[in-house]
Structure 1
C-alpha cells in the first residue's frame, strides 16, 4: 500500500456564489496539488462537505477529478456513515474504475459499542472491492474507535490496510503503532500532530492544510519519513500558526479562507456551515503574507 504513504489531502469542494460546484476552481486545486508534491487525493471527506453534497454531485466530483488527474495520483473516495446497509449499497453501486481506495468513517451519532464498530466495518470489508482506510474522528462521531478494535480489524481483513487516526491523542497513536500488524498503515488525520507521528513510525497524513501549502507540507512529511527531524521541524514550526488558524471556527471554512487568499477558490460553504469571519480571514491573510504566499 505504498500509494498511501506520504501526504494525502482531503480536498475541499469549491462552490460558486450560488453554491453550485465551482469546477474551474476544483481543476486549479487538483493541478496545484499534483504539481507541488502531494502524494494522493481524497475525495468527499469531511473537508469536502460530504454531508451536504448530493449523491449526484458526488458522482460528478469523482468523474471530474478523475478526468483532471489522468491517473497521475492515487484517488481515495470517502464512503461511510452510520447506516451500514446504506454504506454497503453505495459501495455496490459505485464505479471504482478510477479509485484506488476507500476512506470510511467510523459510525457517527449512533454511538455504537466497539463490537458494533467492528461488525460495521466487517460488513463493509466483505463487499468493498478496493483497499479500505478506516477513519477514526471521535470529535465528530462522538464515538472513539479504540486501538484494539482497529488492530482487530487490521488482522482479520486483508483489504483493511490503514487507519486515518484523528483522535488528537498521542497516546492512542503510540498504542496503534506499538500493536499494529507490520504492513498496516497509521495515517495521521491531525495536521498538528502529523510530523511527530511520522517520526514515531506513522506512514503519513491525510491533511487539510496540505492542499493549500502542498510543497511545504509534503516536504515536511517526506523529511519526517526519512528521519530528518530537525529539518522537518523547521518547516513544522513555520506552518504551526496557519495550521491552528484554519480550525479556529470550523472546517472547511478555515481552509477555504486560505485557498481564497491564494486565489485558488472562493470561501463559500453550504449551511449549516458559514464562512470564516472577517477577523479570521484577516488573520489568515496576514499569515499568508508572513509565509510569502500573497
Structure 2
C-alpha cells in the first residue's frame, strides 16, 4: 500500500484531430509524469473519457501506458460501473498484467442504498485479483458513500485497501479518517482540499491538476505528508487558482487546455464533452504564462 501514498495522477486520453487515440502523446505524457516526481498513475478513470472509448481503444491505452511506464511507477486501472455483475465479470476476465490495483467507482445513476453499495463492493472485492481502491464521487454518481459504509467495507473486504474520497467535504473526510483502520488509505479525490485532507491523516491524492503541474503538486503533497505545513501551503496557494480554472467548465476540458498550452497534447475531446471556451482557455494560458 505504500506504493499509493503520495500523488497519483488520473491520466487523460489524448486524441488526434480525427479523434483517434494519440498513443505518441500518451506515451510522452506518461514519461513527463515519471520525470516530474509523480508516485503512481491511474489509467482509464473518468478523466480519460472512458465512457467514450471502445474496448479495443481501452486495450491500446493500457498497452501504451505499460510500455511507456516500463515498470517505473505503480499503475492503477479503472474498472467500475453500475451493473455489479458486469463489473465483476470484467474483473475476472480482463488482462490485468502490469497493473498493481483497481480503482472502482461507486455505482452511478441507479442510486443504491448504503446496503446496496456495501454489497456491490463486497462482490467487487471477491471478484478482483488485485487490491481495490473504492471511489466515492457523489457529484458524478448522485449517491454519497457514507463514512460508516466505507468503514464497514474497510473492515469486511480484505482486499479493498483504500478510498478515493471526492465528496469535496473536509468534515466528512475527517470523520472517515477517524473511523477506518490505520492501514486503510483515505486518498483525496478533490485537488483543492488535498492538502488539508493529507494534514488530517490522509495518504495523498489521485489528482487532475497534478498531471499539468506534476512537480509542484507532488512536492506539495510530499511536504504535507512530512508535516512541513508552511512549505506545503506556500505551494498550495501558488497552485490553487489553476484548480478553479481547470474545473470551471468540467473535466477534462480544463486540464486538456492546460496540457495543450504546455505542448503535451492536442486540445481535442470527444462528444458529449467539448473543449474549454476561448475565454477560459485564455485564462488558463495567462495563468501558465505567469506561473
Q: Which residue in 2 is equivalent to 1:122?
A: 122
Alpha-carbon distance in structure 1 between the residues aligned to 2:53 and 2:198: 32
TM-superposition CA deviations, 1:172-198 (whole Å, max 9, x none): 100111101010000000000001100
Q: Distance between the aligned counterparts of 2:266 and 2:249, measured in 1?
A: 17
Unmatched runs of 5 consecutive residues or more in structure 2: none
SS at match of 1:126: helix
- Residue deviations 1:17-53, cap 9 Å, x none? 1110011110111000000000000000010011111
Q: Give the Cα separation in 1 of the matches to 2:177 and 2:119.
A: 23
Deviation digits for residues 133-175 of structure 1, max 9, x if unmatched?
0000000000000001111000001100000000001111001
Partner of 2:227: 227
Aligned equivalent of 1:149:
149
Name the CA distance, whole Å, in 1 between partners of 2:141 and 2:55.
21
Instruction: Report the aligned-residue RMSD.
Output: 0.5
Q: Tell me the equivalent position of 2:165.
A: 165
Give the Cα–Cα distance (whole angstroms) in 1 for the partners of residues 136 and 123 of structure 2: 17
Instruction: State how far apart, in whole Å, the 2-side matches of 1:20 and 1:89 are.
Output: 27
State the match for 2:20 in structure 1. Answer: 20
The 3-state SS of whatever aligns with 1:192 is: helix
- TM (normalized to structure 2)? 0.99
* Corresponding residue SS for 1:133: strand
Mapping of 1:184-223 within 5 angstroms? 184-223=184-223
1:62-105 superposed Cα distances (whole Å, 9 cap, x missing partner)? 11110111100000000000000110111111111100000000
The TM-score with structure 1 as length reference comes to 0.98
What secondary structure does 2:191 align onto? coil
Matches within 5 A, 1:62-81: 62-81=62-81
- Determine the structure 1 residue equivalent to 2:261: 261
The offset of 1:59, in angstroms, is 1.1
Report deviation, 1:290. 1.0
The runs of at least 4 consecutive aligned structure 1 residues that moved more than 4 Å come to none
- Can you list the C-alpha shifts for 1:195-230, whole angstroms capped at 9, x where unaligned? 110011100000000011110000000000000010
- d(CA) in 2 for partners of 1:55, 1:8: 24
Q: How many residues align?
A: 291
Rounded to whole Å, the distance in 1 between the matches of 2:282 and 2:142 is 32
Aligned to 1:91: 91
2:73 match: secondary structure: coil
Q: Structure 1: which 5+ residue stretches go unaligned?
A: none
